[in-house]
Each structure stands twice: as C-alpha cells, then as structure tokens.
Copies of this chain bind each other. A is one copy, B any other.
C-alpha cells in the first residue's frame, strides 16, 4: 500500500535528519562531491575516510559504511575489505555499489570478495547486477557505467544474489527494484535525466546507507525509501530544470527541503507481481 510506504519513507527520512548518522564512504573520486552533498542534504554526516590505517580507529564509530568501486585500485581495495569486515563484525550495516563490475577481471574479483563480507545492501544498475550474479566480466554489450539492460531484466539475478548473500539487492532503472530474495517492490520515483548526471547512482547508494543506519531492522524498506526519496527530489527538481546541471542543483535543494506532505503523498513504492 502506497500510503504505508510513503509514511515509512517520511519516518525514516526524519530519523536521518534527527540522528544525523555518520556514514563512512570509501568511494570513487568522481562521486565524492555529489555523495557528500547528498548525505548532507538528507541530514546525514558524511566522512570520506579511506586509509587502511584509519579503519581500526574510525570504522567502529560510524553508523554505516558505503563502499563503491568506481575508481578501484589495488591501493584502495584492502581498505574497502578491512572496513567492510570491521563494520560487519561490529553489527554496522554496510552497502556495496559494484560500479562497472564487468569492466575487468580485477574489478569482478574485488566485487566478489566484497560480496563475501556480508553487505546489508547491494545496489547497481541492471547490467551490473546481472554481471555480478553470473560473475562474468568479459564480453557482452558492455558500456562502462551505463546499463544496457532495463531493471526488470535483472530481477531474477537480483533475487539470486539476495538469497545467496542474505542481502537486500536493489536494481536502479526507470523503475528501481528492491528485493530480499523473496519480496520484491518497485520504487517508481525519478526522472530519466538523472542518468545524465554523473554519480547519481553512487549518491543514492550512500543515501541507502544513511536510511539503513537509522532503521537497520528494516533494511528492505529503508532501501526502497531512500531510492524513492531521491527519485522524488529529482522529480521535483525536474520541474524547473533546464538540463542535467540545473537538475543536479535542484535535486540537492529539494532533498534538503522535502516536507512530510510531499513525501507521504508522492513516494511511489509498490509490490512487483
């Protein structure tokens, strides 16, 4: 029921604003600015801390962790693994964004290893989720970070991944799909032009981390809420946008300014048959 989902999304957003969860992000260099500003606009507190030397002191104190392999390198991978282990060991949720997982064997192997470290949520586009589920890195109509599939194409792969890893899996697309391997819902908010802004996918993954941080026992619902809220901010931003850069600005402005009535009435999350 849409009302229930809208109500819960507002409740979770309100918790993010009230508690300002500290979110450690070990993420790609392209996304850092938009990701930090997305977290700040939602009320969360971002911390881009990536050195392995800091994981032992810092990660136990964060509320959630976001790991994104967009500009992966051998120098950063050990920190990602170490932070994921520390977070999981401390019972803190962590979220994996397997950007362009099929770009290379190195990247696929890294993502498979990270997947083994008990992420609470995995979010990718359809091509990424399909590739990750099948572990095939080479071949196919690969287009870097852009998906060549619609989200529904990845539904079975998402369910398989979710069950095998006991994680929530989210597939971004025209409709975002969220599954725990059993239940599936679609988040219908958003506008196509958001895909013309770099790092919107990365940013929403960090927002998922913030939402899950404040409601960890409802990671499935929190993931759907974060995707819908971000998409809603994009819809509102699109009303006066003149292109992708003004949309990006508006999106952050509206994410910061969202109020109860608009979240409750316009969040569109619904079961997928």
Contact = CB atoms under 8 A, between A and B. Distances in A.
Given A32-B30, A196-B40, A70 B48 contact: yes
Interface residues of A, number: 66
A245 B37 contact: yes
A33 interface: yes
- State the number of copies, please: 3
Contacts of A33: 30, 33-34, 198-199
A20 interface: yes
Contact of A245 (B142, B242, B248): B248
A253 B242 contact: yes
Contacts of A30: 32-33, 36, 48
Interface of A: 20, 22, 24, 28-30, 32-34, 36-37, 40-41, 45-51, 53-54, 56-58, 61-62, 70-75, 100, 103-107, 137-138, 142-146, 196-199, 241-246, 248-257
8 contacts: A30-B48, A37-B197, A45-B143, A45-B144, A49-B71, A53-B104, A54-B72, A243-B257
